[in-house]
Amino acid sequence: MYSDTLNNTVAAMTAPGKGLLAADESTNTIKKRFDTITLESTEESRRDYREMLFTTPQISDYISGVILFEETLSQVARSGQPLAELLIAQGILPGIKVDKGLIPLNPGSAEKCTQGLDGLGQKLQQARELGARFAKWRGVYSIAHTLPSRQSIHVNAEGLARYAAICQSEGIVPIVEPEVLMDGEHDIHRCERVTTEVLAAVFNALRTHGVTLEQMILKPNMVLPGAECTVQAGPQEVAEATVRTFKRTVPAAVPGIMFLSGGQSEQAASANLNAINALNTSKPWVLSYSYGRALQAPALQTWGGRDENVTAAQTALAKRARLNSAAAVGGYRAEMEQVA
């Protein structure tokens, strides 16, 4: 029933050289971000911040869609225009985070699973009426000596697949986000093995639940060493490990892989994405970005909650979006960081 709608949405999301802006921080998360600039998190300050991001001049040259928090989808700009309509007027698709966050996999467990399937169909219908054309659901996997457990891999894969099937039945493109966390001392080889196992389970579950692969977007981690690993990897090694993993697990039918930044610095996220796209091997998917902090951080620090800093903050956001757009086509260079 929604096949043409889903196809059109996917085509717009994966436009060449464009990526997604993840602005779907929960109320708790954005409070932590605002604490770094000594700004109280209120409905108005959150609205002002997101409005500043969304009204950045020419941002639609680099951004095809924005993932919104539920509150933001129904908020109205100072001009009286709904924020979702403000995006649509620029040719940017609004989307929405629909999961309800993480809970312990078992009582006392360090592993997490994601909640939010109850009432999801109705929630998606309401979001579509407000302008949303895609959604996002995140599952997380921790790496430790005995983790992730088989139960964690299975439960999170099932949740992602059930969510994706419900989305497509409501005419909403699902972003499937299985994130293998960077926390820990593991090396890049351990991350590659775990990411391979996670993605294999996710796509097995997606097929079981009848999800149309051509009408979804994958939002995975890059294959990286743990943040505390003593041996870090350069962009070339990250690119080779990441593409090798995807070629073993991600069907060519998937139209787009939009990476999460996962705690990387802004520069590392751009350099690694560029190396992935520049790698001289066949890659059947659009490989782009769906970054939150790695796009927003300079803008947030520049803005500082002050109206007089809006233009400078928008310039900072536009720069990071421009550099990641270049990385999405293999055209990023480190010296571009020095150009305003």
Q: What is the pLDDT of residues 157-205, one digit of tens each?
A: 999 999 999 999 999 999 999 999 999 999 999 999 999 999 999 999 9
**Cβ 50 vs Cβ 23: under 8 Å:** yes
Angle of helix 43-54 relative to helix 293-303, nearest 10 degrees?
Answer: 110
Q: Which fold has domain 3-338?
A: TIM Barrel (3.20.20)
Confirm whether pTM is higher than 0.85: yes
Bridge partners for 217 per DSSP: 175, 256
For 96, the token pair is 């929405």
> Which pLDDT value is given to residue 321?
98
> Which pLDDT value is given to residue 117?
98
Query: Whose structure tokens read 């493109």?
Result: 173
**Cβ 180 vs Cβ 139: under 8 Å:** no
How many Å apart are CA 139 and CA 109, to the nearest integer? 15
**Cβ 220 vs Cβ 179: under 8 Å:** yes
For 179, the token pair is 């994130």
> Which pLDDT value is given to residue 1?
83
Torsion angle of alpha carbons 316, 287, 12, 57, nearest 10°? 10
Bridge partners for 20 per DSSP: 65, 290
**Cβ 52 vs Cβ 313: under 8 Å:** yes
Residues of the chain with pLDDT under 70: none
Catalytic residue IDs? 177, 219
> Which pLDDT value is given to residue 17?
98
Give the chain as a 3 state SS string. Answer: CCHHHHHHHHHHHCCCCCEEEEECCCHHHHHHHHHCCCCCCCHHHHHHHHHHHHCCCCHHHCEEEEEECHHHHCCECCCCCEHHHHHHHCCCEEEEECCCCEEECCCCCCCEEECCCCCHHHHHHHHHHCCCCEEEEEEEECCECCECCHHHHHHHHHHHHHHHHHHHHCCCEEEEEEEECCCCCCCHHHHHHHHHHHHHHHHHHHHHCCCCHHHCEECCCCCCCCCCCCCCCCHHHHHHHHHHHHHHHCCCCCCEEEECCCCCCHHHHHHHHHHHHHCCCCCCCEEEEEECHHHHHHHHHHHCCCHHHHHHHHHHHHHHHHHHHHHCCCCCCHHHHHCC
**Cβ 160 vs Cβ 199: under 8 Å:** no
Query: Which residues fall within 8 angstroms of residue 4, CB to CB, at 6 or more apart?
Result: none
> Which pLDDT value is given to residue 309?
98
Query: Whose structure tokens read 């609205």?
Result: 47
Per-residue pLDDT tens digits for 215-225: 999 999 999 99
